[in-house]
């Protein structure tokens, strides 16, 4: 059967329930791998990964390569004022809101070849497949390659919330300010406000990404259906004690801030794990002062964070952490002070998109798991504009932000097919 539009496929689904559904469109998996390999040359490092930090020459060269792929996929490509690559494919009904697919190709220093790249090249492959099969969508389609995801979701923030002067003046990992970096990539900071999109202006945003954790691999599952991107509470914690001679102060007369901090780190860990759920809590850094062999530490500062999809749970754990700290302080006459920063809000994915992703995976005979994303993604900024959906594929060993990052070609192909199939079903569900 020749299928020229998704509208034709709907007939097969709805009118012939007794017969098998039409074979879903499939991407060209080997072609994605060829593109991944070619992209890995830009910013290649001796460890086998890439250092394609945003606003560097390698980043710019990688973007030029990707821009070429977007054009070959039949997309009408431009650089928006925020420096994002935006490829557009007209739909048959210009009045409909666009469906947006996207990710990023910048990396952390000494990063890998899969974080961002899989979703970017997967989205371009979807457009290429539609183009080759001459499939016309009702909705306009946009493929966006966001700039500087790793430096704080800059490109997607410009669309989702806007970038203010304070952010534009921040110095990025490349050494350039965000402002100069955007200009370097071909954006126009003087018109940056125009990048911001109105809430409700897109039909959906879909992002394919590597999991960056090991849950899918450990459970031998193929597709992660992301239920949301976690919120994060960060707090600096100061422990005040009394610095004194380590030789002459008896053990029962010490106000040892580091001892309290050590007890606190252990207690915090057990508090986080004492309630059911998938919340995580980490003490990521610690500093003792004055920091000498022969002085009892008088002051300790440390940084903790708590992540979960539910803000009220984050707040409850943080409150219990404060109570526990007070008790620990009483044991040896030390005091705790917490300076929490704002909680970054969790971004939940759209329930109906979760369902569509699940149905697509099922039709492709792929196993799935509904799971949170513990890492941040451009999708969380796009959630300010419209419904978001995210598809995860397994990361071997759960390794990411490392040259050792790896995902199997079969999983990459599966992920891109789920992205394509989800788009197809969304088009049917919502002509």
Contacting residues toward Zn ion, per CB under 5 A: 115-116
Hey, is 289 helix, strand or coil? strand
Question: Between 115 and 217, whose beta carbon lies closer to Zn ion?
Answer: 115
Give DSSP secondary structure letters for 334-372: -EEEEEE-PPBPPEEPPHHHHHHHHHHHHHTT--EEEEE
CB of 416 to Zn ion, least distance (A): 16
Q: Least Å distance between CB 210 and Zn ion?
A: 8
Q: Are 174 and 78 a contacting pair, CB within 8 Å?
A: no
To which residue do tokens 């707090």 refer? 235
Report the residue number, 208 or 261, with the smaller CB distance to Zn ion. 208
- Measured CA to CA in angstroms, residue 148 lies from 82, 185, 221, 328 at distances of 10, 10, 30, 42
Residue 146 contacts residue 155 (beta carbons within 8 Å)? yes
Could you give the CA distance from residue 428 to residue 8 in angstroms, rounded to a whole number? 9
Task: State the nearest-atom distance from the C-beta of 120 to Zn ion, in Å.
Answer: 9
Q: Which is nearer to Zn ion, 83 or 241 (CB)?
A: 83
Cβ closest to Zn ion, residue 116 vs residue 241: 116
Pairing of strands 204-210, 231-240: unpaired
Asked if residue 126 lies in contact with residue 84, where contact means CB atoms within 8 angstroms, the answer is no
CB of 119 to Zn ion, least distance (A): 7
Q: What is the DSSP string of 208-243?
A: EEE-SSSHHHHTT-SEEEEEEE-EEEEEEEEEE-B-
Contact 105, 116 (CB under 8 A): yes
Pick 105 or 418: Cβ nearer Zn ion? 105
Is 212 or 222 the residue whose CB approaches Zn ion more closely? 212
Q: Which is nearer to Zn ion, 146 or 268 (CB)?
A: 146
Smallest gap from Cβ 115 to Zn ion, in A, equals 4
Q: Which residues lie below 8 Å from residue 357, measured CB to CB, with a gap of 6+?
A: 223, 225, 368, 389, 391, 418, 422
- Which residue's Cβ has the minimum distance to Zn ion? 116
The smaller minimum CB distance to Zn ion, of residues 115 and 211, is found at 115
Residue closer to Zn ion by CB (options 96, 375) is: 375
Output the smallest distance, CB 281 to Zn ion, in A: 23
* Smallest separation, CB 376 to Zn ion (Å): 8
> Nearest distance from residue 223's CB to Zn ion, in Å?
17
Reading the block at residue 78, the tokens are 């431009």
In angstroms, the CA 16 to CA 339 distance is 61
Residue 51 Cβ vs Zn ion, minimum distance, rounded to whole Å: 15
Q: Is the dihedral of CA 398, 402, 408, 411 positive or negative?
A: positive
| Spatial CA neighbour of 122 closest among 97, 143, 149 | 143
């Amino acid at each position: 059967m020749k299928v020229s539009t998704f509208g034709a496929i709907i007939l097969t689904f709805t009118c012939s329930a007794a017969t098998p559904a039409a074979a879903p469109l499939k991407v060209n998996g080997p072609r994605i791998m060829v593109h991944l390999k070619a992209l890995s040359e830009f910013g290649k490092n001796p460890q086998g990964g890439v250092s394609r930090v945003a606003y560097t020459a390698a980043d710019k060269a990688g973007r030029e390569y990707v821009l070429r792929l977007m054009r070959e996929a039949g997309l009408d490509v431009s650089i928006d004022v925020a420096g994002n690559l935006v490829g557009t494919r007209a739909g048959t009904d210009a009045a409909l809101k666009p469906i947006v697919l996207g990710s990023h190709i910048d990396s952390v220093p000494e990063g890998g070849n899969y974080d961002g790249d899989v979703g970017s090249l997967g989205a371009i492959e979807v457009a290429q497949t539609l183009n080759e099969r001459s499939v016309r969508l009702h909705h306009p389609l946009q493929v966006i390659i966001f700039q500087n995801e790793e430096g704080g979701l800059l490109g997607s923030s410009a669309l989702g919330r806007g970038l203010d002067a304070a952010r534009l003046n921040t110095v990025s990992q490349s050494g350039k300010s965000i402002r100069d970096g955007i200009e370097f990539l071909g954006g126009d900071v003087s018109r940056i406000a125009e990048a911001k999109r109105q809430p409700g202006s897109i039909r959906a945003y879909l992002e394919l990404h590597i999991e960056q954790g090991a849950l899918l691999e450990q459970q031998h599952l193929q597709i992660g259906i992301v239920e949301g991107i976690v919120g994060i509470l960060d707090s600096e914690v100061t422990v005040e004690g009394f610095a004194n001679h380590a030789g002459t102060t008896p053990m029962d007369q010490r106000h040892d801030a580091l001892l309290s901090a050590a007890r606190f780190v252990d207690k915090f860990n057990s508090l986080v794990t004492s309630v059911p759920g998938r919340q995580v809590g980490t003490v990521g850094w610690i500093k003792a002062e004055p920091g000498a062999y022969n002085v009892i530490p008088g002051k300790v500062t440390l940084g903790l964070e708590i992540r979960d999809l539910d803000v009220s749970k984050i707040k409850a754990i943080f409150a219990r952490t404060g109570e526990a700290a007070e008790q620990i302080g009483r044991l040896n006459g030390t005091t705790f002070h917490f300076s929490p920063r704002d909680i970054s809000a969790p971004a939940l994915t759209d329930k109906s998109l979760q369902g569509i992703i699940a149905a697509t995976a099922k039709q492709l005979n792929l196993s799935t798991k509904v799971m949170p994303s513990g890492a941040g993604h451009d999708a969380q900024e796009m959630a300010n504009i419209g419904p978001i959906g995210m598809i995860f594929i397994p990361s071997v060993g759960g390794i990411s932000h490392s040259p050792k990052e790896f995902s199997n070609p079969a999983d990459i192909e599966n992920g891109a097919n789920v992205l394509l199939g989800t788009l197809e079903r969304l088009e049917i569900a919502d002509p």
